[in-house]
Structure 1
Amino acid sequence: MNLALSDEQAMVRDMVRRFLADRYDATTMAKGPMSSDDWRALGELGLFALLMPEQAGGLGGGAVEVMIISQELGRALAITPLAEAILLCGRALAADQAVGGWTDRLMQGDALLAFARGGEVVDGRLSGLADIVRDGVNADAFVVETEVGALLLVDVQDSGIRRIPVRLVDGSMAANVRFDAALAQPLTAPASLWAEAHTLAGLSIIAELVGAMSTLLDLTVDYIKQRHQFGKPIASFQVVQHRCARMYTWLEQSRSLLLKAAMVGEKERTRAVTTARAYIGDTALKLAEEAVQLHGGMGVTNELAVGRGLRRVLLLSRLHGGGIAARSALAA
């Protein structure tokens, strides 16, 4: 297995890193969702097209590109809808030529799609409740997976949609969405394509977690070098060194599992991503908690990036069932 990035992949990584460095630092990380202007700018850079299949007009980027982009977003603690809007909803639309307009707008960053579960269809209309739909407040349309597994596209312009805002732990907004006989367009995504979309969305989430772990460790090491107690930097205390060494071990183990999940063959990827989620979901949260503790009381406040980072990691580590769901899937 070749673990080195190609020249093109390294260029993508560096481009995303520069873009985010211009917009985020320790005072702004995870302070709120990425602005619509910045999201649109990422679309103009071609990142969303890179992650979309060629059949939808994209560039056909694969798991490694998903890992690269998501990890950089995680390093900046950027709050974005990448995993669900692009990798889930975008790929659900990829096989339907009739919704090509949505696909184009999505790749350009001009439209936001949200993924919802729940409801049933009667005579082409969707009714039911979808709880905690991420980015559901600002979504222009919903990709809905019904209780029987059917995929639908629902435009928010339909009068049969009601949204109740819900603020999540990282400060982003979700919604409880009620569909009251809303007009729904069936999607024809093959089961294999939909399964691949879920796998890549899971890969994106764990890549964001690994990126966030890296930043939280760096912030913590910088802090303990500056903080003095008993006339010495606390970095000189053996117990603090041991705790940082343990955090570093968690990060490197997580990074190794992420690399394996991104670089194995397609037939092995679903299990590799599930295995990585089973470990990284819980480990990232432990590292974030250690980072906060080593910062002391200020670590839990919204003034420091580690406090905001903890809340971001808490959300990411619980998405789609988190480590518990991943371990259950491995045991099944």
Structure 2
Amino acid sequence: MNLALSDEQAMVRDMVRRFLADRYDATTMAKGPMSPDDWRALGELGLFALLTPEQAGGLGGGAAEVMIVSEEMGRALAITPLAEAILLCGRAIAGSAAAEEWGDRLMQGNALLAFATGGALVDGRLRGTAAIVRDGMDADAFVVETEAGALMLVDGQDSGVRRTPVRLVDGSMAAHVRFDAVQAQPLTVPAGMWAEAQALAGLSIVAELVGAMATLLDLTVDYVRQRHQFGKPIASFQVVQHRCARMYTWLEQSRSLLLKAALAEEEARFRAVTAARAYIGDAALKLAEEAVQLHGGMGVTDELAVGRGLRRVLLLSRLHGGGIAARAALAA
């Protein structure tokens, strides 16, 4: 198992890190979704093309590239639609006629696709509701997984699409979406490709969590070294040292599971990602809570990045059922 990055992978990591460092610091990270201009700039850099399969005109980057990019996004506490828009929806339209209409626009950051679950086909039209669709208010189109498991593409401009805004805990905007007899284009996605898309989207989420954990730990260690009590930095107190050591352990165990999932063979990746989700979601939330507590009362305010980071971790750790759903899937 080779854990070292290739020269090309290191270049991608450094490019994304520099891009995000120019836009986010402790005072701005996790204060709101990435701006459309910055999202398009990432598209112009070729980042989304890298993560798009060759069938859709992309460069066919794999799990390692997904992990590298997503972990950097997590380090900056960047709020983006990467997992659903690029990894799920981008692969759902790959190889279909929809790729001609949406593929290039998606890779360039000029269009946004949102993933929704719910609804059913009735007389050839999609009817029903999809609850809490991330980025659903801004989506130009929806990839919908119906109650029967079919994948459909719905144009967001269809008059039968009704959206109700929902503010999520990290400040991003989702939507309750109702489909009132809308026209839907069937998407034919091989079972193996769809399973891989779901695995990569899950890998992206856990990689973001690991990146966020690293940032929250760094911020906390810096704070306890500077904060004085009884004439000494609180980092000199043994109980604080033990709590920081426990946070470091959670991070390193999570990073190991992330690497194992990213380096797993394709047929074993879905289960490896599920195992990572089963641990990392809970570990990330515990680390974020410790970071807030060690910052004291300021930690829960919007003034500090740790408070905003906690809310970001809370959302990511609960996506797709979180650790509870992952453990149930492993036990099934």
TM-score category by the smaller chain?
Answer: over 0.9
For 2:285, the equivalent position in structure 1 comes to: 285
Task: Give the counterpart letter for 2:296 in structure 1.
Answer: G
- Measured against aligned partners, the alpha-carbon deviations of 1:77-96 in whole angstroms (never above 9, x if no partner) come to 00000000000011000020
Q: What do residues 1-53 of structure 1 show as CA deviations (whole Å, max 9, x unaligned)? A: 00000000000000000000000000000000000000000000101000011
Residues 1:42 and 2:21 are matched in the alignment: no
TM-score normalised to structure 1 length: 0.99
Which structure 1 residue ranges, 4+ long, deviate > 4 Å from structure 2? none
User: Would the aligned equivalents of 2:56 and 2:99 in 1 still touch at CA under 8 Å?
Assistant: no
Tell me, what secondary structure is at the counterpart of 2:295? Answer: helix
Contact map agreement 1:56 1:103 (CA 8 A) in 2:
yes
Q: Is the 8 A contact 1:262 1:269 kept in 2?
A: yes
The correspondence of residues 245-264 of structure 1 with structure 2, limited to 5 A, is 245-264=245-264
Residues in 2 aligned to 1:221 and 1:284: alpha-carbon distance in whole angstroms: 16
One-letter code aligned to 1:67:
M
Q: Which ranges in structure 2 are unaligned for 5 or more consecutive residues? A: none
- Aligned residue identity for 1:56: A
Q: CA separation in 2, counterparts of 1:177 and 1:99?
A: 23
CA deviation map 1:58-94 (0-9, x unaligned): 0000000000000000000000000000000110000
Match of 1:325 in 2: 325
Distance 1:59 1:99, change over 3 A: closer
Q: How many residues of Structure 1 are paired with residues of Structure 2 in the alignment?
A: 332
Deviates more, 1:123-132 or 1:174-183: 123-132
For residue 257 of structure 1, what is the amino acid of its counterpart? L
Say if 1:292 and 1:307, in contact at 8 Å, map to a contact too: yes
CA contact (8 A) 2:29 2:305 kept: yes
Indicate whether 1:89 and 2:89 are aligned. Answer: yes
Read off the aligned partner of 1:245 and give its amino acid letter.
Answer: A
Q: Find out whether 1:131 has 2:131 as its counterpart.
A: yes
Q: Is the 8 A contact 1:29 1:77 kept in 2?
A: yes
Aligned match of 1:19 = 19
Offset at residue 98 of structure 1 (A): 4.2
Identity %: 85
Moved more, 79-88 or 121-130: 121-130
Partners of 1:99 and 1:32 lie apart in 2 by 30
Tell me, what secondary structure is at the counterpart of 2:204?
Answer: helix
Residue type at the aligned position of 1:66: V
- Tell me if structure 2 keeps the 8 A contact 1:67–1:204: yes
Partner of 1:225: 225
Q: Which amino acid aligns with 2:123?
A: D
Once the two structures are overlaid, the 10-residue window that deviates more, 97-106 or 109-118, is 97-106
- Counterpart of 2:270 in structure 1 is 270
**What is the rounded CA distance, in whole Å, between the counterparts of 1:124 and 1:192 in structure 2?**
26
Aligned partners of 2:292 and 2:307 also within 8 Å: yes
The correspondence of residues 97-246 of structure 1 with structure 2, limited to 5 A, is 97-246=97-246
Distance 2:213 2:122 in 1: 46
- Give the whole-Å Cα distance in 1 for the aligned partners of 2:30 and 2:169: 11
CA displacement at 1:101 relative to structure 2: 1.9
Aligned counterpart, 1:76 = 76
Task: For 1:130, give the aligned amino acid.
Answer: A
Give SS of 1:69's match.
Answer: helix
- For 1:268 and 1:154, how far apart are their aligned partners in 2? 32
**Aligned partners of 1:269, 1:156: CA distance in 2, in Å?**
32
> Residue 30 of structure 1: SS of its match in structure 2?
coil
Aligned-residue Cα RMSD (Å) equals 0.6
Equivalent position amino acid for 1:304 in 2 = L
In the aligned structure 1, how far is the partner of 2:113 from the partner of 2:50?
A: 17
- Does the 8 A contact of 1:63 with 1:262 survive in 2? yes
Which range is displaced more, 91-100 or 315-324? 91-100
| Alpha-carbon displacement from aligned partner over 1:225-264 (angstroms, at most 9, x marks no partner) | 1100000000000000000000000000000000010012
Structure 1 distance, partners of 2:151, 2:322, is: 23
| Structure 2 partner of 1:315 | 315
For residue 205 of structure 1, what is the amino acid of its counterpart? I
Q: By how many angstroms is 1:157 displaced?
A: 1.1
